[in-house]
Structures are given as structure tokens and as C-alpha cells.
Amino acid sequence: MKMTYREAVRQAMHEALAADPRVFLMGEDVGKYGGTYACSKGFLEEFGPERIRDTPLSELGFVGAGIGAALGGLRPIVEVMTVNFSLLALDQIVNTAAALRHMSGGQFSVPLVLRMATGAGRQLAAQHSHSLENWYAHIPGIRVLAPATIGDARGMLGPALADPDPVVIFEHAQLYNLEGELPADWRCDIASAAVRREGTDVSLITYGGSLPKALAAAEQLAAEGIAAEVIDLRVLRPLDTATLAASLRKTHKAVVVDEGWKSGSLAAEVMACIVEQCFFDLDAPVARVCSEEVPIPYAKHMEEAALPQVPKIVAAAKQVIGK
């Protein structure tokens, strides 16, 4: 069945709401407006205002309320409009949701699912475009997901809701209009990375909104006789380093593609893992393609220049394999 990423997110939430009365959706404009990205269109009419709960512009307040509601026996899906706005709620996420279980000696789990849009590419400038997934991936106590395909957009929410601990789901804003076939076996885990394209010459390791770019780069490389393997991290915390290591043992070369800024990036963590675990498998230094270290600018040509793009990925891959 062909559908958009948006529709896959919508179906996943619909299924969860229909299946479990403890599940409810809360966030800015999720109800009357139908969701900033139209992922909850029609839900208010179908499930009512108690379960499709429009909130005031109070990220700290409603994310914290989601944590409390989770502790109180519900299964909240809390939607934050963008990762930039989630910074207003960071205290509740880091100091409470992630810490509570350990800090209380294992007495309280927080079964909260937090969804938010992330990433650039729509000329929304420096306060709506950032990729801060690695900030969240730094924190023990939460699981961080980055569905990059129609199947994962459909499949990851179920297990995220079943997880007794907090799960943060990043949906790259450029992916909502992505169209594709929903695989028959869309049910999936929230623990492993996935090989999206097999290859033997170089591993392109990426996640989220950069996956389509990495796949396009692999296509171009193939035309030049280079077989690139594309790894979709899918789960940014905890990282599935076994899948990375298996790929590196085959290709011996890697390029990490990450829309986050280079310094202190998730790419840096992936590279460190590769060096720790696969140093003697490597035939070349590991390379990375990240965003330029600048607040994302508005002007289209400048924004494009700031982000990882297919030609940069292709160039990095060729450099790594010495072509």
C-alpha cells in the first residue's frame, strides 16, 4: 500500500488510540487544528477532547504533565511542535523523566512517548530548523528513535508505547511528505539499526532526514562502480553498535552523515564507537558529513549550503576509498 510518512504516523497513532484507552495525545494544535503536520487530522472528532488534548503554549508544563500522567497510569503521546521548542521542556525531560527511575531506586517508570519534528530544509531559519537529536541521545534513562522510512513511521510507535520508560521520537520535517510503499512487515523493534542498502566498498551511516540523501548518494556511487552500504541507525540511544561493526567488517570504510552540527555530534559518537570496536577493521580514517557550524540561515542557497547534501556525501565516500 502506497502512503506518505505523515499518513503512516497518523495510522500508528490511530491504532494506538483505538487499541488502548490509556493512550491519549496532547500537544499544541493536535486537536482543532489537526496537528501542525496534520498527523492527527480528524482525531478530535473521533476520540474527543479528553484524549485529543490541545494545550496552551506551555512546553515545560505539558511535557511535565505528560510525565505525571504516565506515572498516574496513562500512556501519553506528547507532541512538541519542533525540537527547538522542546528546549523549553528540557528540564522536565532530563531532570525528571530520564532520572526518575534511577533516582527513586527503581520505584517509578515513566511510560511517556514524546514526539517532535526536527531538522531543516524548509527555509524556516535558525529557530525552527535544528537537529538536536544528539542532545537527547546523550541522556541515560531515555530511548531515542529516528524513524526515517514509511515502515518505521508506522511501526515504531507501538513498541515505544509499550516501553515502560520514556521514549523520544524524532520525525524529520522533510520526511512527512515522503511517499512510498508501506511494507507488509512494518512491525518492527526499537532496538536495532537497519541495513537499507547492501554494499561492500563503504558504509554510509546515517539516520532520520539524511537517510534519503545517503540512499541517493549510494545510487550515484553505484553508477561509478562503488557499492555503498547504507546503515540507518533508527535508534539513536542506545546505539546498535553490533550492526555497525558487522558492516565495517565487510566494508572497512565509513562515512557518517548527520544533520547535527559537527562538534559534539551524534556522528562523533558513532565514529568513536567505530574506533573503539572496529579499529583494526578500518582501511581508512572514518569521515563525516555534518551541518556547517552556523545557525541555519533562511536564504535557500545558504540553507542548502549549511546542510549535508548528496554531492558532499558522494565526495566524502570517494575520498575515504581513495577514488
Partner 1 sequence: MIAPPPAGPVPWDKGFAQKLLADMLRIRRMEEKCAELYGAQKIRGFLHLYIGEEACAVGAMHALTADDNIVATYREHGHALVRGVSMNAIMAEMFGKSAGCSRGRGGSMHLFDAATRFYGGNAIVGGGLPLAVGFALADKLQGRRAVTACFFGEGAMAEGAFHESMNLAALWQLPVLFCCENNLYAMGTALARSEAQTDLCAKAASYAVPTLKADGMDIVAVHEAMKLAAAHVRDGLGPFFLELQTYRFRAHSMFDPELYRDKAEVEEWKARGPLHTFSARLKAEEKLTEEEFLAFDARANAEVQAAVDFAEAAPWEPVEDLLKDVHTP
- Cβ neighbours of residue 145 closer than 8 Å, sequence gap 6 or more: 152, 156, 160, 167, 168, 169, 170, 190, 234, 235, 236
- Cβ neighbours of residue 21 closer than 8 Å, sequence gap 6 or more: none
What does the alpha-carbon distance between residue 26 and residue 236 come to, in Å, rounded to a whole number? 24
Q: Out of 27, 34, 119, 141, point to the residue binding partner 1 (CB under 8 A).
A: 141
Under 8 Å between Cβ of 32 and 40: no
Q: Any catalytic annotation for residue 128?
A: yes
- What's the DSSP call for residue 35? -
Residues in contact with partner 1, counted by CB under 8 A, come to a total of: 41
Is 2 in a helix, a strand, or coil? strand
Q: Out of 27, 31, 34, 64, point to the residue binding partner 1 (CB under 8 A).
A: 64
Per-residue binding string, partner 1, 143-162, x by CB under 8 A, is: x-------------------
Q: How far is the CB of 287 from partner 1 (least distance, A)?
A: 33
* Segment interacting with partner 1 (CB under 8 A) among 105-113, 219-227, 249-257, 285-293: 105-113
Instruction: Return the number of the residue (95 or 319) whose C-beta is nearest partner 1.
Output: 95
Is 132 in a helix, a strand, or coil? coil
Catalytic, out of 128, 130, 172, 252: 128
Q: What sign has the CA pseudo-torsion 59, 60, 65, 71? A: positive
Q: How far is the CB of 49 from partner 1 (least distance, A)?
A: 10
Catalytic, out of 7, 28, 59, 259: 59
* Segment interacting with partner 1 (CB under 8 A) among 10-18, 98-106, 114-122, 204-212: 98-106
- What's the DSSP call for residue 198? -
Under 8 Å between Cβ of 134 and 260: yes
Per CB under 8 A, residues contacting partner 1 are: 24, 50-51, 55-56, 58, 60-74, 76, 91-92, 95-96, 100-109, 140-141, 143, 164-165
